[in-house]
Amino acid sequence: MNRFLPRSPIDVSWDHNGHYHDHLLRQIPAHVDRDRGRALDVGCGEGRFARRLAERGLVVDAVDASADMIALARARTPTRLSVRYQAAPLAEAELDPAGYGFVSAIASLHHMPFAPALERLAGALAPGGTLAVLGLYREQDWTDLATSLAALGPQWAIGLGLRAGRFLTGTPDVGAREKSARPMPMRDPEMGLREIRETAADVLPGSRVRRLLMWRYSLVYTRPA
């Protein structure tokens, strides 16, 4: 079984970003997870990943530029979870400098100037804290095209499997219905993977950028303790 797929047998919803949530969760430093520290989720949308962080016991600040998305996130977040939502662009958000043991940004950095965003996110990290980005990149060369083509097979297989699961269990496609009711703001990425790597190396020395399937990349950076 693909280790990135949802583990719950009754979860028959899926999307490209949610496909990598477990990958991002594995980047949480052990001491932050153990001590139930603080986390920041930037570009939180309807709050799905922020809730997953809070379910692990972390105290979460979640930021999104869309007031509609923040309102939806608040409505979907149980009061038992410690998530504080804020509707603001990253550049204007009220963040605790050096206050977070884990910072995440999922499919959001291509909506803003990349280098300044990385600097702001890194500045929010506590010593020893980790920044984990799941981003989109613009296809530019044959390697990008080959990776995109390689993603089609797994994507179709997952889609067919989920349709079969919903049919067999009588589960409606809740994710599709919610997205159609209030879609997240969309924007095509402008930076290619080479430029992303070069910028990350310049702004965050020691960061690791990895190409992923499903038209995504991951960037992981740990602030020196």
CA dihedral (154, 159, 165, 167) in degrees, to 10, reads -150
Residue 110's CATH number: 3.40.50.150
For residue 137, how many C-alpha atoms fall within 13 Å in the half-sphere facing its CB?
27
pLDDT digits (tens, 9 = 90+) for 77-99: 999 999 999 999 999 999 999 99
Q: List, in sequence order, every residue forming a beta bridge with 211; answer none if it has no partner.
A: 217
Q: How many domains does the chain have?
A: 1
Q: Do residues 47 and 76 touch, judged by C-beta distance below 8 A?
A: yes
Q: Which domain holds residue 44?
A: 18-138+187-222
Q: Which H or E run includes 134?
A: strand 125-136
Between these two residues, 213 and 39, which has the higher pLDDT value? 39
In a domain? residue 10: no
Q: In what order do the strands lie in the sheet with 38-42?
A: 83-87, 59-64, 38-42, 100-106, 125-136, 216-222, 208-212
In a domain? residue 217: yes
In a domain? residue 161: no
pLDDT digits (tens, 9 = 90+) for 115-166: 999 999 999 999 999 999 999 999 877 576 656 555 545 544 444 444 544 4
In a domain? residue 38: yes
Q: What's this model's pTM, rounded to 2 decimal places?
A: 0.78
